[in-house]
Amino acid sequence: MMHEPGIPDHLTPLKMACPQRLDGRWQSDHHDDGYRGGGNARQEIEAVFHRACRLDELFENHISVVAELGFGAGLSILETIRRFRQVASPTARLCLVSCEKFPIHPNAFKEMLMHDGADPNLVSALIDQWPIHVGGWHRLSFLEGRVHLTLGLGDATDLLPTMNFKADAWFLDGFSPAKNPDLWTPEVLKMVTDRSATGARLGTWCSAGDVRRTLTELGWLVERVPGHGTKRHRTEAHRSGATPRRSSPGTIHIAGAGFAGAGAARAFAERGWSVTVFDTKGPAMGASGNPRSLVQPRLAKGLDAASHLHLHAALFAARQMDQLGVSSIPGALHLGVGHHAEKVEAALSHKGLPATLIRAVDEDEASKLAGCRVGPGAWFASARTVSGPEYVAALLDHGNITICLEEPTMPGCEDTPLVWCTGSSAVNALELSGLHQIRGQLEILKPIPWLNHAVCFGHYLLPAEDSVVLGASYDHGDFDSSVRNDTAQASLELAQRALPGVPMHRTGGRTSFRLASRDRLPLLGPDPQRGFWCSLAHGSRGASTGPFLGAFLADCMEGLPAALPSIYVDRLRVGRFKS
């Protein structure tokens, strides 16, 4: 399997943990050790992490970054959010980072958290957005976006090297070095150190001599202090210097109100920025205005940058739609027909992935789902059919966002950065190399009564309230914006071949244009030549990459832990194509 360096493995199934309650402690089935020291878990977290890292003082800053090794049941992270909510000002923000190699099923961690006295509202918020168990970094958000958790599922030793950030505080919460040596090696402690800001503080229940010695060699000022509960000692450490002052949110201008512009606007607005979105035509008038779009992962044979991005973007968008209350229809049936067979086969070649992500369906089940006799295929349970205009409207519905039906002033200035998210029109306006427009025509059909999820066969059928959307054509070098009969005919023939006997009555159509790049990855980041930022070339995946990369862009501009591995800064770089 091809593996691009810097991309976490999202295709190898994760092993789960099933903690058991033994002798008054939650015991791990992988490490033969307790998740907490015994006694009152919340008091232990307060002493060992919160007071050691002087969180109350830290939370006086308007942005704090707190990182942890060993998410476990999430109690230390939820307690940190609870403390932040109690002591921080209402405009302060908190970025959390944590890693977990053996995730626990939500039903099990709910029981652990409730038993240990976690805040029930935070427990529900965690469960509501708990990610599907695939490897990589998942972005969760709490307290209306004031708190972000960047949660890495997989081995911390593989994940940390993929992410650059500077934490103000670290909780080292692995099991004991004797039972969980991989989380305490000099290499891991070096990774922690490299990801620590000046003045950073570190707390751990562990007082092992080797750990303290290594931390000292890495430049930490280390203290062995009296332990909590039955532990004789624990460790506190800090780095010299003052905690960095991170810049405050300002104003930002965004050109274009499609998935890319609205997604970026939402991300900045939630971070406290004052956002103006400029669009001469109004929201969702370009490709994002299609009556239905499909949000779903693409699982390629290897671990490449595009499939990792598309998987995590789709999972992010699904969580965001739920949080924003955007209605969507779950599930997509993929049929192994024509050219599409290869993609279905590639997706199904990864054994053991969670069924909530993808599973094989045999001929009978596929036929039931399709409403006619078809061959076997794949069921993408995590896919969502959504109305583009509804998703865009929900993204823009935030008190910090103003919409302006005009062109923005060019270029942006240092005080008010400008982000260019103008979809396909950028190809002519900016003359960027490596980009091309692709025409796409959708057909609107009369409702198909039993069709209550997406069906994909190269094209797709997407259910809508009072219609079905069939699409989409993929017409290179065709700049005709009208809705054409020849395109409609070709789409209908393809659909009838894939779903024989299913009645399809066309009532209309819509044409719009994708913007795609030569390497099929979007363009994101600063455009030094033009003095503004870009989120462009979302190809055929903009309903998920638009909102997701909006969050990534905001993280990068603020220099905070990012929603995607650091390698994407370069992989998505504007100006990477030479003409």
Ligand X SMILES: Cc1cc2nc3c(=O)[nH]c(=O)nc-3n(C[C@H](O)[C@H](O)[C@H](O)COP(=O)(O)OP(=O)(O)OC[C@H]3O[C@@H](n4cnc5c(N)ncnc54)[C@H](O)[C@@H]3O)c2cc1C
Ligand Y SMILES: C[S@@+](CC[C@H](N)C(=O)[O-])C[C@H]1O[C@@H](n2cnc3c(N)ncnc32)[C@H](O)[C@@H]1O
By CB under 6 A, residue 404 contacts ligand X: no
The 159-188 site mask, x for binding ligand X (CB under 6 A), equals ------------------------------
Binding ligand Y (rule: CB under 6 A), the pick from 44, 46, 173, 475 is 173
258 touches, from ligand Y, ligand X, none (C-beta below 5 to 8 Å by class): ligand X
Instruction: Choose between 152 and 388: whose C-beta lies nearer to ligand Y.
Output: 152
255 touches, from ligand Y, ligand X, none (C-beta below 5 to 8 Å by class): ligand X
Report the C-alpha gap between 285 and 280 in whole angstroms: 10
- What contacts 421, CB < 8 A, 6 or more positions away? 254, 255, 256, 258, 260, 261, 264, 534, 535, 536, 546
At closest approach, how far in Å is the CB of 407 from ligand X?
5
Number of residues that bind ligand Y (CB under 6 A): 22
By CB under 6 A, residue 35 contacts ligand Y: yes
Please choose, out of 67-75, 262-270, 297-305, 571-579, the segment that lies near ligand Y by the rule CB under 6 A.
Answer: 67-75
Instruction: Choose between 180 and 382: whose C-beta lies nearer to ligand Y.
Output: 180
The 292-321 site mask, x for binding ligand X (CB under 6 A), equals -xxx--------------------------
At closest approach, how far in Å is the CB of 326 from ligand Y?
32
Instruction: Choose between 17 and 401: whose C-beta lies nearer to ligand Y.
Output: 17
At closest approach, how far in Å is the CB of 71 from ligand Y?
6
Binding ligand X (rule: CB under 6 A), the pick from 83, 110, 459, 538 is 538
Nearest to 258 by CA among 49, 403, 57: 403
CB count in 10 Å sphere of residue 452:
13
CA distances from 129 to 122, 125, 138, 201, 216 (A): 11, 7, 10, 29, 38
Which residue carries 């000099």 as its tokens? Answer: 186
DSSP one-letter code for 100: E
Cis previous bond, 242, omega within 30: no
DSSP one-letter code for 561: -
By CB under 6 A, residue 176 contacts ligand Y: no
Cis previous bond, 411, omega within 30: yes
The torsion angles phi and psi of 18, rounded to 5 degrees, stand at -125, 80
Please choose, out of 1-9, 13-21, 535-543, 552-560, the segment that lies near ligand X by the rule CB under 6 A.
Answer: 535-543
156 touches, from ligand X, ligand Y, none (C-beta below 5 to 8 Å by class): ligand Y
Instruction: Choose between 397 and 407: whose C-beta lies nearer to ligand X.
Output: 407
Instruction: Choose between 261 and 377: whose C-beta lies nearer to ligand X.
Output: 261
Which residue carries 């751990």 as its tokens? Answer: 204
The 450-489 site mask, x for binding ligand X (CB under 6 A), equals ---------------------xx-----------------
Report the C-alpha gap between 365 and 378 in whole angstroms: 10
Which residue carries 């810049």 as its tokens? Answer: 247
Beta-sheet pairing, 196-204 with 25-27: unpaired
Binding ligand X (rule: CB under 6 A), the pick from 541, 548, 550, 551 is 541
486, containing H or E segment: helix 485-498
By CB under 6 A, residue 17 contacts ligand Y: yes
By CB under 6 A, residue 156 contacts ligand Y: yes
Binding ligand Y (rule: CB under 6 A), the pick from 27, 141, 157, 274 is 157
- What contacts 545, CB < 8 A, 6 or more positions away? 259, 260, 309, 310, 313, 522, 538, 539
Report the C-alpha gap between 134 and 132 in whole angstroms: 6
Q: Which residues lie near ligand Y (CB under 6 A)?
A: 17, 35, 70-76, 99-102, 155-157, 173-175, 180, 182-183
